[in-house]
Chains A and B, each alone.
Chain A
Amino acid sequence: MLKKSQITSTAPIYEPFVASPRVLLFREISVWAQGLQILKDISLDIPEHCCFGLLGPSGAGKSTLLQCVNRLLDLQPGFRVSGSIHYKGADIMSKHIDADHLRTRIGTVFQQSSVFPTSIYENVLFGLKRVRGIPRAERADVVEKYLRQAHLWDELKDRLKRPATELSVGQQQRLCIARTIAMEPEILLMDEPTSALDARSTEAIERFILSVRNQCTVILVTHDLEQARRVTDRIACLCAGEEGGEILETGCCDAVFANGACRQVFQRIDEE
């Protein structure tokens, strides 16, 4: 495979994942909050096992779009959604979908980490123990496996029983990642997971994203253009239009970064 840096402007742009099967299909998603339109007619195809980036300025509705996928918007009053999101032949937005069960298949890592006020060990098992159940004998192995995957094991292996709230913000965020992938989701939503973190944690999380694509599909909201180049396979550029966020362009990084309208948006992101 060509390295992205080797691509010159004259060479044809390599578009990865074009022929891959699609795992999520967004069709004309529009969202209103208290009468104000936040998203307008979003249609997207997310290929399986890719890292799909959502880029756009603040207020373009990137986080809202993620919250449609895991139906967390249901928990917040005042939102109205139209359109459909197809996942495994069913429409996620349908009233007949069991949103709780859906969230066990579609994991979320939030912008602000939030560990539960219990030990590091219990945090990793928090969802797994309650949602799926796990035999006592397997617990220690599971904790090690997912802490390793979140690049946290070496730092924490000697203090698993300590309260998770003692950890640094970056470690807490990686713990949240471990806790989420312990559920073995098929899709992982990441909402600006590194926006408040130190370089070391950011690097660890980026390594995690690159490695986790074998297991699941990642949708990453990011503000960081360089990060998008480093870890995403395809991106969608959103802009904040008068009638809510819209998609300007979708494609591989090089194609989107080459688009003039998108470049203006990226300039605005940089200024923010």
Chain B
Amino acid sequence: MRGCFAVPEPTVDNKLMRRRRTFIDLATHTIAVVGGLLCLGIVTAVLGWIILRGAPHVDLHFFWEASRESGLAGGIRYQIAGTIILMLTTLAVAVPLSIGLALAATVYLPRGAARSALQGFLQLLNAMPSILFGIVGYLFFFHYLGWGKSWLAGGLVLGWMILPTVTISLIKSMEAIPLKQIHAAAGLGMRRGQIIRSIYLPQSVRGLFTGSFLGLARAAGETAPILFVATVFAGVSLPEGIRDSPVLALPYHIFVLAQDSLQAGAIENLWATAFVLVALVIGLSLTVLPFRLHNSNRRDHA
């Protein structure tokens, strides 16, 4: 039975058209599947490789013991401690700065040129190669301020590096707040600072978490920015001061072990450290997965 819309009899043109449409449909579908599988395959291969090679060498002693013989023996106790110190400093630097920047970009700066300029600047900062952060940090802290290698310098450099990630994520969640809610609050006579405290900040906590953890996941694995300013390979434990207090760190440990990879013991410790670092980074990324899923759901429903 026909419905209210009459379906025209297929003509030659129509058949051609239909074939073309089917082809386009099939092609896009294939590209999506191939791309997805390729991505999944590469990630699985790399992770599988690291797990296969690294996991057998990881045990409690490996976590707990300090490294010996230039990393050829022993564990990675102080590398883990150093990475945690660097991460905490990075957060302490990036979070307040990014809240300030995000508020500037959504509340304080006038709409138009100034806001676009700030967003453009953030994109630019995001695209900067990490080695540049390392070199700028080195010139500033080492040559200009006369510091030695320092955990604080490392945290500051990493903080600057992840600043755009955190800020852009925050800006997105602040821009998602309905304007009518801001107007409603203003209509009650609330001042700008009060609107920020009771509307903007509470409603962008998710954005802050997402951005911070993604930024941290990146910072945890970076070698280049801390190479010149914060880390040494061996000979230190926990920092005792600020200016001349280097730390050990996981990515730098991997970097140096890879250079000594011909020596016995280096390879096992290299894979084991890589395993710990990857577990740390994946752990940080997974922490914010619920937030990210929630956000994308919200977008779908909007």
Contact = CB atoms under 8 A, between A and B. Distances in A.
A259 B54 CA distance: 88
A108 B188 CA distance: 7
28 contacts: A70-B187, A72-B187, A75-B186, A77-B112, A100-B189, A100-B190, A101-B189, A102-B189, A103-B187, A103-B189, A105-B189, A108-B187, A110-B180, A110-B184, A112-B180, A114-B178, A114-B180, A114-B181, A114-B184, A116-B199, A127-B189, A130-B190, A130-B194, A130-B198, A131-B190, A131-B194, A176-B184, A183-B189
Nearest to A185: B189
A103 B112 CA distance: 27
A104 interface: yes
Contacts of B178: 114
Nearest to B187: A108
Interface string A129-142: 01100000000000
A126 interface: yes
A117 interface: yes
B111 interface: yes
A102 B112 CA distance: 28
Interface residues of B, number: 20
Interface string B166-194: 00000000000010111111111111001
A151 interface: no
A105 B189 CA distance: 8
Nearest to B182: A75
Interface of B: 110-112, 178, 180-191, 194, 198-199, 203
B188 A131 contact: yes
Q: Is the interface of A mostly helix, strand, loop or mixed?
A: helix
Contacts of B184: 110, 114, 116, 176
A103 B188 contact: yes
Interface string A52-82: 0000000000000000001010010100000
B187 A107 contact: yes
B101 to A, nearest CB: 21
Contacts of A49: none
A105 B187 CA distance: 10
Contacts of A117: 203
Contacts of A116: 181, 184-185, 198-199
B203 A126 contact: no
Interface in A91-114: 100-105, 107-108, 110, 112, 114
Given A77-B110, A116-B199, A110 B188 contact: no
A127 B180 contact: no
Contact of B191 (A70, A100, A179, A180): A100
B194 A103 contact: no
Interface of A: 70, 72, 75, 77, 100-105, 107-108, 110, 112, 114, 116-117, 126-127, 130-131, 176, 179-180, 183
A24 B187 CA distance: 18
Nearest to B203: A117
B186 A72 contact: yes
A110 B194 contact: no
Q: Give the residue among A70, A107, A126, A130 with the most B Cβ atoms within 10 A.
A: A130
Given A108-B187, A116-B198, A116-B199, 15 more contacts: A72-B183, A100-B186, A101-B189, A103-B186, A103-B188, A110-B180, A110-B183, A116-B184, A117-B203, A127-B185, A130-B194, A131-B189, A131-B194, A176-B184, A183-B188
A131 B111 CA distance: 27
A236 to B, nearest CB: 22
A188 B12 CA distance: 67
A108 B112 CA distance: 28
A94 to B, nearest CB: 18
A107 B188 contact: yes
A227 B112 CA distance: 41
B188 A127 contact: yes
A180 B199 contact: no
A68 to B, nearest CB: 14
A271 B110 CA distance: 40
Contacts of A105: 189
B189 A104 contact: yes
Contacts of B189: 100-105, 127, 131, 183
A179 B136 CA distance: 53
A103 B189 CA distance: 4
Contact of A127 (B111, B183, B190, B203): B190
B180 A77 contact: no
A215 B3 CA distance: 60
B205 to A, nearest CB: 12
A154 B241 CA distance: 64
A179 B186 contact: no
B111 A77 contact: yes
Contacts of B187: 70, 72, 103, 107-108, 110, 180
